[in-house]
């Protein structure tokens, strides 16, 4: 009781203190120092209609590269900690017919929609991370409905590595062509799709990177699911 009330008191003090700080940043005021620049120049500088993806992949692409790495570490870490010589699915009951048939019908659509999201990252809301997560949901469905389903590990791990390397490679090509790491060479040097803004073949390297991220995130999250649902088999 004493512990709990002390905790509540401390939290209230911290909350009050934070509120004091927040009060110094009035809501609704224009604080877009850099923001205006993005909004005004996003179309001609990156070719993307979706300003968020343009900022995330192009202007501040370095952060996205980092976030992709964070996810990669998470999946590698889970794999390292749950590593056993022999592992097997331990599910006991097969899903009902409705579940398995439903999954069979649904999974292709889930994967199609996921691909749609990451391919159209520069045009519609979404991008590589939501698209990849959607694809992983498809695999999660398969795991939940079938007791023996397993992703093809070798292929998945290699795809994940290749997608990550290609992202860095796209950046390094930018370093070679434009002189800067992660330079958008497709848009700024080749000027591909400049008269095509708002359509699929535009947006410089944003769609390419988002496809790579989508594949990477999809395989990574599926790998995490795979590691977590399996148990060790004693020999």
Partner 1 sequence: MNGQYASLLIALPLISAFFVPLIKGAGKNAIKSYLVLITALQTGVAAWVFQEVYSTGKPMIVMAGGWKPPVGINLYIGHFAALFVLIVAAVSFLMAIFSFKAVNVEPIDKYAMLFLLLMLGATGMIATGDIFNLFVFMEITSISAYALTAYNKTGEAAEASMKYIVLGGIGSSFFLVGVALIYGALGTLNMAQIAQLASTLNPTVAQVGLALVVFGLAVEAEIFPLNAWAPDAYQAAPHPITVMFSAFVVKAGLYAMARIVYLMKDVGSWSSILKLLVILATLTVIVAELAALRQRNVKRMIAYSSISQIGLIALAFALGTQSGVDAGVFHMINHAIVKALLFLAVGYVAVALGGAEMENFRGLGKRMPVTAFTISVGAIATVGVPLFNIFWSKIRIILATLSVGYTWAAALVLAASVVEAVYYFRLLHVIWFEGTGERMHENMAMGIMLLFLAALVIVIGVYPSYAWNLAQKAGNDIFNVAQYVKNVPLMGVGA
Contacts with partner 1, 56-85, as mask; x by CB under 8 A: --xxxxxx-xxx-xx-xxx-xx-xxx-x-x
Half-sphere exposure of 220 (CA within 13 A, CB side): 29
Q: Which of residues 6-25 bind partner 1 (CB under 8 A)?
A: 17-18, 20-25
DSSP output for 73-108:
HHHHHHHHHT--SSEEE---SPPPHHHHHHHHHHHH
Q: Is 138 an interacting residue with respect to partner 1 (CB under 8 A)?
A: no
Backbone angles phi, psi at 175, to 5 degrees: -65, -40
Which of positions 23-42 make contact with partner 1 (CB under 8 A)?
23-25, 31-38
CA–CA gap between residue 183 and residue 58 (Å, rounded) = 8
**Which residue's CB is nearer to partner 1, number 15 or number 108?**
15
Q: How many CA atoms does the CB half-sphere of 114 hold within 13 Å? A: 25
158 binds partner 1 (CB under 8 A): yes
1 versus 81: smaller Cβ distance to partner 1: 81
Distance of CA 192 to the CA centre of its chain: 26
Handedness of CA 96, 98, 101, 104 (dihedral sign): negative
Give yes or no for residue 206 binding partner 1 (CB under 8 A). no
Residues of this chain that bind partner 1 (CB under 8 A): 17-18, 20-25, 31-38, 58-63, 65-67, 69-70, 72-74, 76-77, 79-81, 83, 85, 157-158, 160-162, 164-165, 168-169, 171-172, 174-175, 178-184, 188
């Amino acid at each position: 009781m004493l512990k709990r009330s002390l905790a509540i008191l401390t939290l209230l003090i911290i909350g009050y203190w934070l509120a004091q700080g927040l009060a110094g940043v009035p809501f609704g005021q224009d604080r877009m120092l850099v923001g205006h620049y993005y909004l005004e120049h996003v179309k001609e500088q990156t070719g993307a209609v979706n300003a968020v993806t343009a900022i995330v992949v192009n202007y501040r692409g370095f952060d996205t590269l980092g976030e992709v790495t964070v996810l990669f570490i998470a999946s590698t870490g889970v794999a390292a900690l749950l590593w056993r010589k022999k592992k097997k699915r331990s599910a006991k009951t097969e899903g009902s017919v409705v579940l398995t048939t439903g999954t069979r019908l649904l999974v292709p659509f889930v994967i199609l929609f996921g691909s749609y999201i990451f391919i159209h990252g520069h045009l519609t809301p979404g991008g590589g991370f939501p698209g990849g997560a959607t694809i992983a949901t498809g695999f999660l469905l398969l795991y939940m409905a079938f007791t023996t389903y397993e992703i093809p590990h070798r292929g998945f791990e290699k795809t994940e590595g290749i997608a990550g390397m290609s992202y860095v490679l796209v950046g390094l090509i930018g370093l070679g062509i434009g002189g800067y790491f992660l330079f958008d060479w497709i848009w700024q040097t080749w000027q591909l799709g400049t008269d095509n803004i708002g359509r699929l073949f535009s947006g410089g390297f944003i769609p390419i990177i988002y496809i790579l991220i989508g594949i990477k995130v999809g395989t990574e999250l599926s790998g995490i699911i795979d590691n977590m649902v399996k148990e060790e088999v004693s020999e």
